[in-house]
Amino acid sequence: MGSGQHDHANPRELVVKRIALALLVTAIATSAFAQNLPPGKWWRRPEIVQILNLSEEQQEKLETIFRTSSSDLIDLRGEVEKHNITLRGDLDQPQLDRPTIRRDAQKLSDARGRLFERELMMLADMRAVLNDSQWNRMRSGLLERLGNATPQRPKMNERQNPRRQR
């Protein structure tokens, strides 16, 4: 008798685990590209302006792109959070309704996709403001030096270790 109950519970647990995994993967994918830029209005940080040699015109264009995108990003992040709350509520029910969970998970996935697309288009617009040399400096050590302050300093030859963590 106990074995039958356990077998019956496994499909539910499997659904919950699959949805949780899908949400985690989507969250990581959505935010991964944002880690390619220093936090905040990086084009206004004096050290970045100096290293990239950003002109006033470039800074103003980047500011305009940010302002134009901000409202959309706020709305899209709110939409993602609303769908997260709805899905969590679905999963907290004593009786799981698979079609409802599937529908709400799809809505969340779609909302995350729209957020990712908008963030990516903002990044593409910002990339278009930078010349190739500036972009390459952004992608290289600048981010590590300015955006990722860590309490411990990695050794120069420890570039293989982060690959193991992926």
Question: Which position has the higher pLDDT, 11 or 80?
Answer: 80
Quick: pLDDT tens for 72-97: 999 999 999 999 999 999 999 999 99
46/132 Cα distance (integer angstroms)? 20
Q: How confident is the model at residue 7 (pLDDT cuts 50, 70, 90)?
A: very low
**Are the CB atoms for 83 and 111 separated by under 8 Å?**
yes
Which pTM value belongs to this model? 0.63
Q: What is the pLDDT of residue 15?
A: 66
Domain covering 54-136: architecture: Up-down Bundle (1.20)
Confidence check: pLDDT of 46 > 50: yes
Percent of the chain residues topping a pLDDT of 70 = 61
HSE of 3 in the Cβ direction (CA atoms, 13 Å)?
0
Quick: pLDDT tens for 126-136: 999 999 999 98
HSE of 68 in the Cβ direction (CA atoms, 13 Å)?
12
The C-alpha angle 60, 121, 67, rounded to 5 degrees, equals: 35
Q: Return the domain boundaries, the chain.
A: 54-136
Quick: pLDDT tens for 130-158: 999 999 888 876 556 555 544 344 444 44
